[in-house]
Structure 1
Amino acid sequence: MNSISFSSVSVRVVVDGQDEPKTLLRDVSLNLTERRVAVIGANGSGKSTLLRLLNGLVEPSAGTVVVHGDDTVTAVRRVRSNVGFVFTDPLSQLVMPTGREDVELSLRRSIKNSRERSARAEEVLDRFGLLRLADQSIYELSGGERQLLALAAVLAVNPAVLVLDEPSTLLDLRNRELLRRTVAGLDQQVIMSTHDLDLALDMDRVLVVEAGRVVFDGDASDGVARYRALCAASLGELPYERAPK
């Protein structure tokens, strides 16, 4: 069952100093079967919460999330073996001194033999053009190189679903284009939140999230147009745009 379903999902959290829980997502129902799905919306709209539901980093307060037949609460280990998650800041998930060590670490559970694990890590690094950087400190790499390295480490175990949380935020134009081409060539189903509307236009389906609700679900170009309209409406009339009296 190669689909991802949200059934009446809401997420509420208790915030210090507030009597009532804060609602981050409200009554989301979706069935995601497309290979490329973008999630767009303003900061704080609920995009990252929606993505983190996909591998059990966040649990629904109500409703269910099912990924390829597995419930993200009751079968979280199987879900996480199928869903790779790449965070906005790669330094938050690159834990080893070098890229080679990080990719080998991600392979430790699936490949027990150290020689086989090392050979597989080299294959993965070479696939992403990172082999020449494999033994450099991750702190010597550019933001784009770190992001690709984090992506390589996640894809090394061949998950069925790849979740990317604003992957282009730290990238310059060259590395953004490299990321776009890399994502386009992947076999995995990709769910991506992004502020980069050009990246969103590459997707098969776009979800627009506003104030914890999915307010648009459909074609990429229509979704981007809807989000632009929402942004324009939220700005209203700016002080410097008012005609002088």
Structure 2
Amino acid sequence: MNKLLAALAARLDGLAMLALAGFMGWLATAGNYWMYLNPKFKPVTLAAAVVLAVLGAYATLRPVAKANLGRGLCYLALACLVWFAEGGLQTLSANNDSDVFSVAPSLPAPDIAPVPERLRAGGQDYVPINTGELYDIAAKGPGPAFERPYAVRGFVHRSPELDAKGQFVLYRLAVWCCFADGTAVGFRVKTPPGQQPPADKSWAVAYGHLAVIPENDRQDIILPGMSFSSVSAAALLAADALENKELIPEETYMFEWRQAEPYAF
């Protein structure tokens, strides 16, 4: 029995590598990969899992490390940490079913959903663009791009102060690397005359063009429930038309933004 335990302890490094390879493979194919890394890195993770599996198998069949109680306790502590961390993550997700951001995207939108060349509203064609791409354009300041008609979609944030101005915020969550560093990026939208703004927390599409916000009206808007938010303080979207959607699409996150057409939308 002692020899069996010693042989198993000597193979802990290889077994740990095999376990890590299995976890990485599961995470990239069936787990919540998007909460840790951008889904476009799945092929890299799967390739690393294959390499780890090969090395782990070799280390298990030909162990070189000697049995050591300290190493065994370290692996046990690591396994417990992973177990509790995964359980806490599942509990957090279960407690936030009402949160629109608790619904994981199935696949990256740029590779799945085709982007339309133009969207039409009120007899005019609009350039589909996401809030991150439009934010970059607005950051360059007034110019010909401000005169172009854009179609932007996202979640609606309303407040009494914005309602008094006939405005609301349209935003989406930009995932730069992983969900943990997600940033809400959006714009104040000026509601068309005679039209009511969309309902708070609903999903909407705004059609319009960029306009400069006067110096005395600029402010930093912090979106509730967001760790980080970037709402353009210097420009807003003057809407020609609004389209309030009853259903929130499966893909609400921004994994990609481009510098030229066709934009990721």
Report the TM range for the smaller structure's normalisation: under 0.3
Query: TM-score, normalising length from structure 1?
Result: 0.25
By relative contact order (CA 8 Å, sep 6+), the higher-ranking structure is 1
Larger radius of gyration: 2
TM-score, length of structure 2 as denominator length: 0.24
